[in-house]
Every structure is written in C-alpha cells, then in structure tokens.
C-alpha cells in the first residue's frame, strides 16, 4: 500500500511511519512542524519508500499519485499545546479532517482518523465503552480539543455514510514512549523530565485522579490492526490497567533514583477524575490487547529523556 500519514513528524505519527514501512508499505509523511519535530523522522529521510511534504492540512491537501490509505494524525495533542494554540487545534480538527477526507474520497483510499479518549470528557461512566457519549464542557478551555475531535468523528462518519468512504476511528487513551516532547505537558514526560533534573514533580490536585498508560509500541500495533480491519465505528485503543497520578509519580521517582519532592498544584478546569478504556471491542474484533506493563514501558522510555536532559544541560554549560 501507499499511505499518507498527516502529523508524521509528531510522537505517534513518526512511530506509525516506522510501522507501515516495516510492514512493507510506502509512506508519504505530512507535517507543518507546529508540534512535530524533524528529528522524529530524520532516520527516514533518503529512503525510497518514504517521502515527506511540509504542509498545513488546514489548507487544501494535494498529494501526487495514487493512495491506498490516509491516516489523519495531525493535531496538537497535549494540554500545553492546545491551550496555547486553540484556533489551530480547532482548525486542524475541522478543516484539516475535511481536507484529509477529501483526499481519501478523491483517491478511493481507506481513511483513519485519530480521535481521543478526551471525547468522553470527565466521564460519568467508568471504564469508558465506545457507546458512552461523554461528559464534555464545550465552552471550557479543554473544549477546543475535545470538540475538535468530536466534530472530526462526526464528519468522518458522515463521509462514510454519505460518500461510502471506508473509515476507521481510533479513540486513543494516554500513551507514552520515546519521541514525546519533554515540555509537552503530558504527565509521563513531565514526571520523567522533572525527576531527571531534580525538579519537584508537579501533581495536580491530590493525585488521586486515575489514568491508564499505554506504551507506544502497543498502541501503534492496535492502530495498525484497526486500519487493516473492516470496522468503521469508533474503537478504543489503550491500556485498561489503571493507576493514580500519585502512583505514577512514586514509580518514576523510584525508577530514576531521583530525590525530587512532589508539589501539589491546583487541579486544572475540567480535568478528568478517571480515565480507563473498555477494550472489549479491540480484543474481540482486532485480537489486540496491550502487552507492555507500565514499569517495562518506563524502563524503555527513561533513557530517551535522560539523553535529552543531558544534551540540554551540556548546551547550557
């Protein structure tokens, strides 16, 4: 297959490029580097089976040649990014998804949209199945991301029903691993970088809120299986093992050997109290479930951030 992956220089997008290339497909990557980074795909440059187009998908997308698949993963995806770039976040979720769907329709390609567990908001149902409609504040600060993704899902299903575009929607839960940005505000990268630097770990509220952390290799495997399946409706992909934020902080401190203290900060508005996927559908339809436990995933991730922190320290000398 020849596939277009938007957001190709981002954390997940770059790992997806690796997976599709490893499976023998050809990849056209697209990114405007608002939150992605060229370093994430530097190892792919010069390959015959990889091409890159620098472009903002909120504008009309043109890709020469045939395409068998379009995977739309372009979007700011961390609170720091979408709170700093609210308009871009809404535009990539609306105009960007529309443009990516247009390419898929024109090329007769399969389309996959990267949605998020944020469509469930601060959930009143736990764990969250795909049938749950969510509890989202549409006008709160986080609404720019939540509603952008909810719109993206709606227009994707409209293209499926009205135009017959073969679509896939993956609802992604908290994911971590190498190539995350150290300052992106996500809890795993925040804690690791703070611990390695000896800075206080920022725990919002009392740390009793829960999250479910999926290692990136597991997540990409689930995404790839969903893309190759026939399921058009939204599908949860994430790790159903639940941890409190305080448990994660304690684990990071232990694994890094850090003596950092833990600082309690005010809980952000609309921050979900619980977050855990019901992956019954992924197990039954895709034969997928995560294999990497949190401690093993952190063991694979910490050296990546240790190298970044070391390089940053060296530059300041």
Longest dimension (CA), the chain: 59
Identified catalytic residue from 82, 145, 159, 224: 145
Cα(16)–Cα(5) distance, integer angstroms: 8
Cα(128)–Cα(276) distance, integer angstroms: 6
Give which of 283, 145, 301, 137 is closest to 213, Cα–Cα.
Answer: 301
Give which of 112, 22, 31, 106 is closest to 69, Cα–Cα.
Answer: 112
Backbone φ, ψ for residue 205 (5° rounding): 70, -150
Active site residue 145: yes
Cα(240)–Cα(277) distance, integer angstroms: 5
- Token code pair at residue 302: 């910490």
- Token code pair at residue 2: 């020849």
Cross-strand pairs, 254: none
E-state strands within 120-261: 167-172, 175-176, 201-204, 210-212, 214-215, 234-237, 242-244
- Token code pair at residue 126: 């736990």
Phi-psi region of 314 (alpha: psi -120 to 50; beta: other; left: phi over 0): alpha
Calculated CA dihedral for residues 59, 91, 134, 153, nearest 10 degrees: -10
H or E element in which residue 57 lies: none
* Helices within 159-293 (DSSP H only): 187-197, 216-228, 245-256, 280-281
Decide: 104 and 110 in contact? Cβ < 8 Å.
yes
Residues involved in catalysis = 145
């Amino acid at each position: 297959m020849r596939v277009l992956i938007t957001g190709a220089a981002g954390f997940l997008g770059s790992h997806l490029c690796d997976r599709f290339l490893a499976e023998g497909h050809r990849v056209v990557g697209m990114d405007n580097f608002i939150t992605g980074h060229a370093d994430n795909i530097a190892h792919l440059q010069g390959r015959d089976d990889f091409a890159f187009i620098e472009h903002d998908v909120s504008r009309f997308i043109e890709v020469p040649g045939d395409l068998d698949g379009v995977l739309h993963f372009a979007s700011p995806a961390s609170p720091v990014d979408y709170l700093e770039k609210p308009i871009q976040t809404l535009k990539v979720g609306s105009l960007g998804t529309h443009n990516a769907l247009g390419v898929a329709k024109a090329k007769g390609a399969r389309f996959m949209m990267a949605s998020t567990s944020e469509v469930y908001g601060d959930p009143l149902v736990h764990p969250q199945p795909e049938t749950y409609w969510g509890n989202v504040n549409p006008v709160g600060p986080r609404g720019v991301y939540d509603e952008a993704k909810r719109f993206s899902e709606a227009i994707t299903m409209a293209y499926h029903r009205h135009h017959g575009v073969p679509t896939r929607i993956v609802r992604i839960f908290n994911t971590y691993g190498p190539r995350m940005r150290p300052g992106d505000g996500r809890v795993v990268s925040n804690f690791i970088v703070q611990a390695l630097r000896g800075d206080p770990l920022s725990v919002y509220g009392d740390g009793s809120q829960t999250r479910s952390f999926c290692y990136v290799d597991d997540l990409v495997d689930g995404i790839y299986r969903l893309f190759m399946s026939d399921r058009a409706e939204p599908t949860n992909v994430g790790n159903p093992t639940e941890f409190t934020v305080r448990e994660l902080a304690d684990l990071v401190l232990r694994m890094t050997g850090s003596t950092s203290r833990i600082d309690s900060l005010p809980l952000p508005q609309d921050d979900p109290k619980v977050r855990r996927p019901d992956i019954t559908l992924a197990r039954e339809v895709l034969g997928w479930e995560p294999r990497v436990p949190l401690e093993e995933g952190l063991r694979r991730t910490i050296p990546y951030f240790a190298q970044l922190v070391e390089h940053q320290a060296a530059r300041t000398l």
